[in-house]
């Protein structure tokens, strides 16, 4: 019965414009560096820039635990199979169990600029200044040290739930599709300054946003799927579990949901700045971090009439599909050795 309900909702998404209803919102009393919705859409982890990590129930917004790590942080991610939280800062990596107990914490001398966990392979991936990359297991034992060649710094990384491959993008416009062992499978180059990347759960659909207001969809077999242009720089992106719906957060505070045909099925401008956005399974809910402090969960549903809801959104912004990527796919493996530069 549950699967049938989800199927019907997905069918309706393709046919109708949508609206949203606020489910819960955090008080926004402290600065939040990041937020993450677990792959199973059951938990939310909020990362405070000064070191506070808070795990919430995604349905109610109620806190399950808060832990002060006493280190600057920029990102946390949940392994939903174990419930463990991995938190990352410029010079910190920490693992917290599902009850809020710190399992270990490592101080790193080399500055970390981006990070992600690979739930599939039970690894975490650290990106450093100079585009160096380290892959370590969940106990912080290094497994790979290498890097990527680009004229710009790494600006985003994403590791899907059901694949041991991962994607790295740079501010210079390079997209690297990489294996669990650090080898580059392929590289796609475009002219834009890339600052956001996400993938479908199986890692086959890659969704990228740029400072030049562009959106790019790639397939893991090196095919370009779509490209569009919005009205402001793209800050954050996400993909629904089935890879059919795409969420976008922009620098002007606008949020979008697009279907696989590139049509705008949901649009709103509730914020001044939106820095993180996530879609739950089947695009039924949207999680956002806005104005560097407010974490909000919305339910997405069919648009109501004026009588039912006075604040309907009547105008939906359509995307401009004139943007063409100028990139090419190459096999650009990095054979250059890199000396040890990390202490774990």
Q: Determine the CATH number of domain 17-328.
A: 2.130.10.10
Q: Domain map of the chain by residue range?
A: 17-328
Structure tokens at 69: 């790590």
Structure tokens at 153: 């710094």
pLDDT tens-digit readout, 235-254: 999 998 777 899 999 999 99
Contacts of 336 (CB under 8 A, 6+ apart): 147, 149
Among all chains, which residue has been given the structure tokens 């790295």?
168
pLDDT tens-digit readout, 63-87: 999 999 999 999 999 999 999 999 9
Contact status, residue 166 vs residue 185, Cβ threshold 8 Å = no
Give the pLDDT of residue 49: 92
Among all chains, which residue has been given the structure tokens 């109610």?
60
Contact status, residue 216 vs residue 227, Cβ threshold 8 Å = yes
> 326 or 90: whose pLDDT is higher?
90
Q: What is the pTM (predicted TM-score) of this model?
A: 0.83
State the average pLDDT over residues 283-306.
82
């Amino acid at each position: 019965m549950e699967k049938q309900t989800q199927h019907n909702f997905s069918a309706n998404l393709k046919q109708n414009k949508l609206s949203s209803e606020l489910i819960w919102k955090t008080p926004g009393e402290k600065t939040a560096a990041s937020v993450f919705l677990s792959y199973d859409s059951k938990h939310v982890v909020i990362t405070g820039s000064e070191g506070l990590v808070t795990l919430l129930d995604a349905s109610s917004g109620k806190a399950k635990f808060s832990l002060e790590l006493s280190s600057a942080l920029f990102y946390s991610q949940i392994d939903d199979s174990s419930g463990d939280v991995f938190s990352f800062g410029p010079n910190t990596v920490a693992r917290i169990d599902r009850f809020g107990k710190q399992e270990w914490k490592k101080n790193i001398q080399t500055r970390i600029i981006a990070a992600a966990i690979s739930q599939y392979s039970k690894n975490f991936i650290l990106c450093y200044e100079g585009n160096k990359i380290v892959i370590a297991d969940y106990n912080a034992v290094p497994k790979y040290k290498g890097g990527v060649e680009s004229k710009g710094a790494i600006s985003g990384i994403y590791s899907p739930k059901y694949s041991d491959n991962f994607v790295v993008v740079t501010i210079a416009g390079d997209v690297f599709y990489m294996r669990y062992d650090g080898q580059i499978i392929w590289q796609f180059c475009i002219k834009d300054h890339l600052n956001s990347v996400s993938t479908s759960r199986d890692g086959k659909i890659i969704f990228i946003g740029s400072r030049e207001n562009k959106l790019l969809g790639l397939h893991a077999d090196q095919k370009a799927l779509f490209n569009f242009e919005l009205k402001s720089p793209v800050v954050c992106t996400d993909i629904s579990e089935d890879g059919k719906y795409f969420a976008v957060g922009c620098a002007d505070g606008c949020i979008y949901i697009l279907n696989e045909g590139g049509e705008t099925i949901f649009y709103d401008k509730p914020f001044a700045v939106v820095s993180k956005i996530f879609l739950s399974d089947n695009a039924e809910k949207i999680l956002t971090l806005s104005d560097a402090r407010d974490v909000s969960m919305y339910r997405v549903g069919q648009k109501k009439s004026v009588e039912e809801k006075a604040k309907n959104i009547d105008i939906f912004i359509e995307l401009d599909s004139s943007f063409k990527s100028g990139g090419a796919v190459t096999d650009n493996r990095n054979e250059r050795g890199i000396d040890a530069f990390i202490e774990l």
